[in-house]
Amino acid sequence: MSTKVVKFGGSSLADAGQFVKVGNIIKADGARRYVVPSAPGKRYPKDTKVTDMLYACYDAAARGADFTEMFEAIVKRYMDIIHDLGLKIEDRLVREFSTIRMSFLARAGRDYAASRGEYLNGIVLAEYLGFAFIDAAEVIFFGEDGKLKLKETCHAVKERLSGLEHAVIPGFYGSMPNDTVKTFSRGGSDITGAIVAAAVSADVYENWTDISGYLVCDPRIVPDPEPVKVITYRELRELAYMGAQVFHEDAIFPVRQAGIPINIRNTNRPEDDGTMIVEEAPDSVSPYVITGIAGKKGFVTVTIEKDMMNSELGFGRRVLEAFENYGISFEHMPSGIDTMSIIVHKDEFEAREKEIIRQIETSCKPDRVYIDRNIALLAVVGRGMKSQRGTAARIFAALAHAKVNVKMIDQGSSELNVIVGVEDEDFETSVKAVYDIFVTQKL
């Protein structure tokens, strides 16, 4: 029998109505056997996620302030859900909340506090689905150094689930060697889902959220962009680095290593296929040459000019040392015969600008150093570029046509992406122009 591990994000479980959608999704496919829930998220834009309520409530308790009202608001979120679903577990929840309250008073820690959001939601969801509940603290282990012990964890999860047809394992937390609770970083239920999928060698890891997967570009720039049907892990890394975020990056490793594809799906539109994230994909599965466009504003280019630079041994190293000494990592480094440009994050650079320039002047004796501020970087990513001639030509023709002045070009040797530097103010126009030529016009 095939096995799917399904993780539901906070917005998918924000209230009883969302629980019903989740229940229908699980019932629709018998392979959806192991379920990883987040804590209830926002029900409407101005709402507060239960995780944030728990942090705030615990902080008040730890300060010795009265936290009754905040605590009651959290209790109400769960009680509303169980009452609206008609679940008879009020007594159980009252007992759980009493333990949590005592633990807050005993300063059990912020991680413990935040983890209760997923823990309680797991109890409610298991009851609603009629599945077994497994406390993640019993199967997800961190070492003394706070790092996940993947091997031990996978072993424990596998053993625990081996006799169970179905189960709910709350996301986001596990336990330390001294049995205290530790959480992953924010959004970490994605990681729990990935671990469970790897442990049971799932056929697919479905990650249910409130969007139908990745879009070719940011919908705030191009209204209603096309969805990405299939993306490789490497393409995803390029796009995520440049700002396209749907999925917790640390969740990729366990499933990628185990060769399990991830399917990003939309709880509110289960009929959509969503995005498949896979190791390898033929170019033919993508209708366009490119897979996605992402990018960010807020970079600076520092250009160093020196006659005969190319014959001066160690010049590049000395330039980079100046950045390294002040803790600044560089993003790109295009160079000419007598010039070298270093592209860095504006905020980080400007905080140490004077010291860095002084060091470059002393150690490199350049003829000239100039700084170009307000640079945006645009990443055009696609595995299809490799086999397609003229991709770069089309990108630059589109930008020229849109009257965008290109300040920098960098094509990775993987031929997976082309990075273009433009003025901050041209960023949106550039994204639109590239989208238009590859997607709208399908050139």
Contact set with ligand ASP (CB under 6 A): 9-10, 38-39, 49, 51, 117, 171-172, 186-190
Closer residue to ligand ASP (CB): 39 or 169? 39
Closer residue to ligand ASP (CB): 262 or 319? 262
Closer residue to ligand ASP (CB): 191 or 419? 191
CB atoms within 10 A of CB 366: 21
Closer residue to ligand ASP (CB): 71 or 299? 71
Q: In angstroms, what is the minimal distance from the CB of 406 to ligand ASP? A: 38
Closer residue to ligand ASP (CB): 247 or 315? 247
What's the rounded Cα separation, in Å, for the pair 161 and 167? Answer: 7
| Six token digits for residue 434 | 């590239």
Closer residue to ligand ASP (CB): 50 or 418? 50
| Six token digits for residue 269 | 């539109």
Q: In angstroms, what is the minimal distance from the CB of 357 to ligand ASP? A: 40
Q: In angstroms, what is the minimal distance from the CB of 173 to ligand ASP? A: 9
Closer residue to ligand ASP (CB): 136 or 360? 136
Q: How far is CA 46 from CA 41, 49, 330, 387, in A?
A: 11, 10, 37, 47
| Residue 297, burial from CB neighbour count under 10 angstroms (0-12, 13-18, 19+) | middle
DSSP string over 257-307: HTT--EEEEETT-TTS--EEEES---GGG-SSS--EEEEEEEEEEEEEE-T
Closer residue to ligand ASP (CB): 189 or 301? 189
CB atoms within 10 A of CB 113: 26
Q: How far is CA 77 from CA 118, 133, 286, 409, in A?
A: 13, 20, 42, 51
Q: In angstroms, what is the minimal distance from the CB of 187 to ligand ASP? A: 4
Residue with the CB atom nearest ligand ASP in the bound state: 189
Q: In angstroms, what is the minimal distance from the CB of 246 to ligand ASP? A: 12
DSSP string over 182-216: EE-STTTHHHHHHHHHHHTT-SEEEEEESSSS-BS
Q: Which amino acid is at 212?
A: S
What's the rounded Cα separation, in Å, for the pair 77 and 211? Answer: 23
Give the angle 59-63-67 at the CA atoms, nearest 5°.
65
Helix axes 50-62, 90-105, angle to 10 degrees: 40
Q: Residues 165, 123: contact at Cβ < 8 Å?
A: no
Q: In angstroms, what is the minimal distance from the CB of 440 to ligand ASP? A: 35
Closer residue to ligand ASP (CB): 124 or 290? 124
What's the rounded Cα separation, in Å, for the pair 96 and 84? Answer: 19
Q: In angstroms, what is the minimal distance from the CB of 38 to ligand ASP? A: 3
Q: In angstroms, what is the minimal distance from the CB of 122 to ligand ASP? A: 12
| Residue 435, burial from CB neighbour count under 10 angstroms (0-12, 13-18, 19+) | buried
- Nearest 5°: phi and psi at 276? -95, 125
Helix axes 150-161, 189-199, angle to 10 degrees: 70
Closer residue to ligand ASP (CB): 77 or 407? 77
